[in-house]
């Protein structure tokens, strides 16, 4: 249909009611014959171009005014339904039949006359063949409607409806295709189209793209604190007015808690108004979509009556602190030194647990207890050199709360140890920790009654590893102090933790060859190491270090009052271990520091602190009975003992030690407590040689001897240059056999320690070959690389004395690598 034709239909149709009005007036006022007689002088149809179902008015040449009987009308031979037949005024109204494109309008009058009134053209109504897509987002989705006879453009009375709601945004409109945006406020139903003058016709059904929540994480939340991730589909690419996410009917968006909103994921804080567990639901009000319900959530329970206890539940349960509290909640006899930037000693949740130097009189400017520090009533500030204890940063007060905030006092949080005495020692300001201050503070702690020292200085002491702390650590350890240190963070801002085996750090790695420092790394509440936590052998145990709440000094708090949330770092893992050590010390006051250390480490769960297990399932500290032949000493006492027949035999001099071929590297440093269990045996001297057959005097191994550690397959040949003892690996059996003078039965099986006492040489020179090679054996093969000259050899630190002369077969059994220059 073209526009011109269409406007004709409209004007004709508009004319019809006027006719009706005239007719009605005529009927009501009774029939005026003179009018009628004037009226039937012509024959016509209106309109001349109609549509199926439309009304056709027919004026015919009437002679039937007073004649009774039936008349009828056909259009194109099809019987038309009579709507009204006004005989005397000669007007007939019929419904245009379906399924015709046109035809003559024939009136069969009552009297049997047949009158051909005129030709009617019949237009067909529009038809919808398809819509796409059939699933829509109200207000967003563009829907393409295909079909026929839509008209070439939209007229005022032409419209598309989505289940009765008119689409007001039309992208394009042609006779065969309409593109509209699904309107807001719709419900699922049929798309329909109204092309004037035709009646509205229905198209295929459409459904709404409704949001679906598939998962939430975590499901156990703390209102006002937990960031929850809601995953699903059809959330819309962004938040729109009218949308919201609800927790037990409490709107998150309305409360400005939503952090991000994408089509498949919403991140939001759980509104603090939420008080009950319930269902997470989403409403896409912007699409007119009703609330869709998702999974249920629960509210993190409290493990103490403290105000913010539910913030602590996850990580405290990870380390089973609540279970541990059924055994002990700590003791005020246990002192923990927090060596950091200070602890706010008047904190409402800490002040009961702050150490007080009872032997010091405050404010008299006298060192009453004679410990070298004047008026050190709560501890000492090693930066400002006074006892005022003004905090120099935010860090130390956080550590103090984690390990020892007063528990179950209706205030704040609970420390791991509810009862404890915290000794603040200030060694840092916000930017810098002084190594000397740290050393002095460690000594102060050890000298003034600390049972435990917490060193969460990992991220501040960035100078790497230094042995300057060793002596102080050793001093405290040998006084029975438990020393706990944070492993340090590689880089919390997305970086990765360092392998401390490769890059050791102080103070966590200042173990003094023993395990004097309990190194603590950080895990999440699922016991996975956090990527930024340092790791390696210096880390003895892990504890939660993410999203930790604690006490805070005034001016630093992020939670109303004196508290701070969302602390991340190994700094905050360490005081959990310190607090756990405090619980063990409270429960077992006479337990040694190394036993508490070992109970904590050996009762860990996947390497993660398990306070309950450490307390409840005693790790029976088994002092390993050293094997006969072991060489032991304490750290503080230079005397070396030979363990023999269950006794410790002092080796009376270094000369004797050397004369027996003992190896200094094999001396095991043990604690005084362990060494005390061995009864003292006779001293080792020349006139009382040891009887232990395992000890082979090194001087009994002549140059050229083939040695092999018991249980090992590697065979070495030894040589001596002055006081230096070298060994060289025989690469393979074929190399061995190629040397005609070597005999398998000559191989001497010795202790590994004997093998280790020889320096391994990988330097060789073959006969008739001036080149010196460095060998890189690997299994039964290997590579040789020529060292260019003597200067290169010495520059690289190789000892020319270590060079062995080998045969050419031996040399050629190594592949040739690149030149070393």
Residues contributing to the site for Ca ion (CB under 5 A): 306, 349, 360-361, 364, 366-369, 371, 373, 375-376, 405-406, 409, 411-412, 511, 515, 517, 519, 540
Q: How far apart are CA 657 and CA 638, in angstroms?
A: 13
Cβ contacts of 574 within 8 Å, gap of 6 or more? 399, 454, 455, 456, 484, 485, 486, 520, 543
- Residue 555 CB, shortest distance to Ca ion, in Å, is 21
Query: Which is nearer to Ca ion, 511 or 598 (by Cβ)?
Result: 511
Q: How far apart are CA 279 and CA 376, in angstroms?
A: 55
Query: Which is nearer to Ca ion, 247 or 373 (by Cβ)?
Result: 373
- Residue 520 CB, shortest distance to Ca ion, in Å, is 9
- Residue 776 CB, shortest distance to Ca ion, in Å, is 33
- The verdict on whether 347 is a catalytic residue reads no
- Residue 369 CB, shortest distance to Ca ion, in Å, is 5
Q: How far apart are CA 693 and CA 700, in angstroms?
A: 13
- Residue 361 CB, shortest distance to Ca ion, in Å, is 4
The pair of structure tokens assigned to 112 is 């049997």
- Residue 380 CB, shortest distance to Ca ion, in Å, is 9
Query: Which is nearer to Ca ion, 280 or 337 (by Cβ)?
Result: 337
Query: Which is nearer to Ca ion, 412 or 521 (by Cβ)?
Result: 412
Query: Which is nearer to Ca ion, 246 or 378 (by Cβ)?
Result: 378
Query: Which is nearer to Ca ion, 485 or 642 (by Cβ)?
Result: 485
Q: How far apart are CA 330 and CA 811, in angstroms?
A: 68
Q: How far apart are CA 547 and CA 550, in angstroms?
A: 10
- Residue 501 CB, shortest distance to Ca ion, in Å, is 12
Query: Which is nearer to Ca ion, 291 or 371 (by Cβ)?
Result: 371
- Residue 740 CB, shortest distance to Ca ion, in Å, is 52
Phi, psi (5° rounding) for residue 353?
-110, 15
Proportion of the chain in helix, strand, coil states, percent, rounded to 5: 20, 30, 50
Q: How far apart are CA 523 and CA 118, in angstroms?
A: 93
Tokens 């915290």, residue? Answer: 422
Pairing, β 55-59 against β 91-95: antiparallel
Q: Find the DSSP H helices in 95-137.
A: none
On whether the CB atoms of residues 103 and 78 are closer than 8 A, the answer is yes
- Residue 416 CB, shortest distance to Ca ion, in Å, is 12
Of the residues 151, 243, 244, 340, only one is catalytic, namely 340
Pairing, β 330-340 against β 452-455: parallel
Cβ contacts of 620 within 8 Å, gap of 6 or more? none
Q: How far apart are CA 799 and CA 15, in angstroms?
A: 119
- Residue 417 CB, shortest distance to Ca ion, in Å, is 12
- The verdict on whether 770 is a catalytic residue reads no
Query: Which is nearer to Ca ion, 144 or 386 (by Cβ)?
Result: 386
Query: Which is nearer to Ca ion, 123 or 373 (by Cβ)?
Result: 373
Of the residues 244, 394, 395, 450, only one is catalytic, namely 395
Q: How far apart are CA 564 and CA 548, in angstroms?
A: 8
- Residue 480 CB, shortest distance to Ca ion, in Å, is 17
Query: Which is nearer to Ca ion, 270 or 455 (by Cβ)?
Result: 455
Residue-wise DSSP of 791-814: HHHHHTT--GGGPEEE-HHHHHTS
Query: Which is nearer to Ca ion, 370 or 797 (by Cβ)?
Result: 370
Cβ contacts of 481 within 8 Å, gap of 6 or more? 445, 446, 450, 451, 452, 453, 593
Q: How far apart are CA 715 and CA 699, in angstroms?
A: 19
What are the start-end ranges of the E strands in 341-461?
Answer: 380-381, 419-426, 452-455
Of the residues 286, 450, 506, 571, only one is catalytic, namely 571
The pair of structure tokens assigned to 179 is 């593109």
On whether the CB atoms of residues 107 and 117 are closer than 8 A, the answer is yes
Which conformational region is residue 538 in: left (phi greater than 0), alpha (psi within -120 to 50 degrees), or beta? Answer: alpha
On whether the CB atoms of residues 798 and 804 are closer than 8 A, the answer is no
296-298-299-301 Cα dihedral, nearest 10 degrees: 180
Cβ neighbours, 10 Å, residue 411: 21
- The verdict on whether 598 is a catalytic residue reads no
Query: Which is nearer to Ca ion, 158 or 349 (by Cβ)?
Result: 349
Residue nearest to Ca ion (CB): 306
Q: Which residues of 749-758 are buried (b: 16+ CB within 10 A; e: fewer)?
A: ebbebbbebb
Least Cα distance to 326 among 250, 263, 439, 408 occurs for: 408
Phi, psi (5° rounding) for residue 476?
-70, -45
Query: Element (H or E) spanning 640, and its range?
Result: strand 640-644
- Residue 739 CB, shortest distance to Ca ion, in Å, is 46
Q: How far apart are CA 148 and CA 63, in angstroms?
A: 44
On whether the CB atoms of residues 299 and 235 are closer than 8 A, the answer is no
- Residue 258 CB, shortest distance to Ca ion, in Å, is 32
On whether the CB atoms of residues 727 and 707 are closer than 8 A, the answer is yes
Query: Which is nearer to Ca ion, 281 or 307 (by Cβ)?
Result: 307
Q: How far apart are CA 322 and CA 74, in angstroms?
A: 94
On whether the CB atoms of residues 726 and 703 are closer than 8 A, the answer is no
535-536-537-538 Cα dihedral, nearest 10 degrees: -40
3 state DSSP class of 178: strand
Catalytic residues: 340, 395, 571
């Amino acid at each position: 249909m073209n526009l011109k034709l269409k406007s004709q239909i409209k004007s004709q149709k508009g004319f019809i009611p006027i006719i009706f009005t005239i007719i009605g007036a005529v009927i009501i006022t009774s029939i005026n014959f003179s009018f009628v007689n004037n009226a039937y002088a012509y024959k016509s149809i209106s309109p001349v171009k109609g549509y199926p179902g439309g009304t056709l008015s027919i004026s015919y040449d009437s002679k039937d005014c007073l004649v009774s009987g039936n008349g009828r009308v056909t259009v194109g031979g099809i019987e038309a339904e009579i709507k009204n037949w006004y005989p005397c005024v000669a007007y007939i109204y019929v419904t245009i039949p379906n399924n015709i494109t046109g035809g003559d309008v024939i009136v069969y009058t009552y009297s049997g006359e047949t009158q051909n009134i005129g030709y009617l053209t019949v237009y067909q109504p529009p038809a919808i063949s398809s819509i796409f897509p059939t699933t829509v987002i109200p207000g967003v989705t563009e829907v393409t409607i295909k079909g026929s006879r839509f008209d070439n453009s939209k007229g005022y009375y032409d419209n598309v409806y989505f289940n009765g709601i008119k689409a007001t945004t039309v992208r394009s409109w042609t006779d065969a295709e309409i593109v509209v945006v699904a309107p807001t406020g719709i419900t699922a139903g049929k798309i329909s189209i109204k092309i004037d003058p035709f009646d509205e016709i229905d198209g295929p059904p459409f459904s709404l793209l409704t949001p679906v929540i598939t998962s939430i994480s975590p499901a156990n939340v703390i209102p006002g604190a937990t960031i929850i991730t809601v995953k699903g589909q059809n959330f819309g690419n962004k938040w729109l007015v009218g949308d919201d996410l609800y927790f037990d009917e409490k709107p998150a968006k309305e409360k400005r808690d939503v952090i991000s909103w994408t089509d498949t994921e919403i991140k939001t804080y759980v509104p603090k108004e939420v008080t009950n567990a319930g269902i997470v639901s989403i409403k896409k009000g912007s699409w007119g979509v009703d609330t869709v319900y998702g999974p249920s959530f629960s509210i993190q329970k409290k493990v103490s009556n403290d105000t913010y206890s539910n913030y602590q539940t996850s990580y405290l349960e990870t380390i089973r602190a609540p279970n541990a509290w059924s055994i002990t909640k700590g003791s005020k006899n246990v002192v923990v030194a927090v060596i950091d930037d200070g602890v706010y000693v008047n904190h409402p949740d800490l002040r009961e647990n702050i150490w007080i130097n009872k032997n010091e009189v405050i404010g008299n400017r006298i060192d009453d207890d004679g410990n070298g520090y004047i008026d050190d009533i709560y501890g000492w500030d090693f930066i400002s050199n006074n006892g005022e204890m003004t905090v120099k940063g935010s860090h130390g007060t956080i550590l103090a709360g984690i390990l020892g905030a007063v528990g179950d006092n209706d205030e704040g949080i609970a420390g791991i140890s509810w009862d404890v005495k915290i000794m603040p020692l200030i060694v840092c300001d916000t930017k810098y920790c002084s190594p000397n201050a740290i050393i002095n503070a460690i000594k102060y702690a050890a000298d003034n009654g600390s049972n435990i020292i917490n060193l969460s200085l990992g991220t501040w002491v960035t100078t790497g590893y230094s042995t300057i702390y060793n002596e102080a650590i050793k001093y405290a350890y040998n006084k029975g102090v438990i020393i706990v240190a944070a492993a340090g963070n590689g880089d919390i801002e997305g970086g990765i933790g360092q392998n401390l085996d490769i890059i050791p750090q102080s103070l966590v790695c200042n173990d003094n060859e023993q395990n004097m420092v309990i190194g603590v790394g950080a895990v999440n509440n699922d016991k996975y190491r956090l990527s930024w936590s340092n790791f390696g052998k210096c880390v003895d145990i892990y504890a939660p270090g993410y999203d930790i709440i604690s006490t805070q000094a005034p001016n630093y708090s992020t939670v109303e009052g004196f508290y701070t949330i969302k602390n991340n770092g190994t700094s905050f893992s360490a005081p959990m271990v310190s607090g756990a050590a405090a619980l063990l010390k409270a429960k077992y006051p006479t337990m040694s520091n190394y036993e508490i250390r070992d109970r904590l480490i050996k009762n860990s769960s996947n390497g993660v602190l398990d306070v309950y297990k450490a307390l409840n399932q005693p790790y029976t500290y088994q002092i390993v009975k050293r094997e006969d032949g072991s060489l032991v000493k304490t750290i503080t006492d230079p005397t070396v003992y030979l363990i023999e027949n269950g006794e410790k035999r002092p080796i009376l001099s270094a000369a004797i030690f050397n004369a027996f071929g003992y190896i200094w590297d094999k001396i095991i440093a043990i604690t005084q407590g362990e060494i005390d269990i061995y009864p003292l045996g006779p001293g080792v001297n020349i006139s009382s040689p040891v009887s232990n057959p395992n000890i082979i005097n090194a001087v009994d191994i002549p140059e050229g001897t083939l040695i092999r550690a018991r249980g090992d397959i590697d065979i070495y040949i030894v040589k001596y240059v002055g006081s230096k003892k070298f060994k060289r690996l025989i690469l393979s059996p074929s190399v061995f056999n190629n040397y005609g003078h070597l005999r398998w039965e000559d191989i001497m099986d010795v202790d590994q320690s004997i093998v280790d006492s020889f320096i391994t040489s990988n330097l060789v020179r073959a006969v008739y070959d001036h080149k010196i090679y460095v060998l890189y054996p690997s299994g039964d093969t290997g590579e040789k690389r020529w060292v260019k000259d003597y200067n290169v050899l010495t520059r690289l630190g190789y000892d020319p004395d270590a060079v062995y002369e080998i045969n050419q077969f031996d040399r050629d059994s190594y592949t040739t690598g690149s030149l070393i220059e």
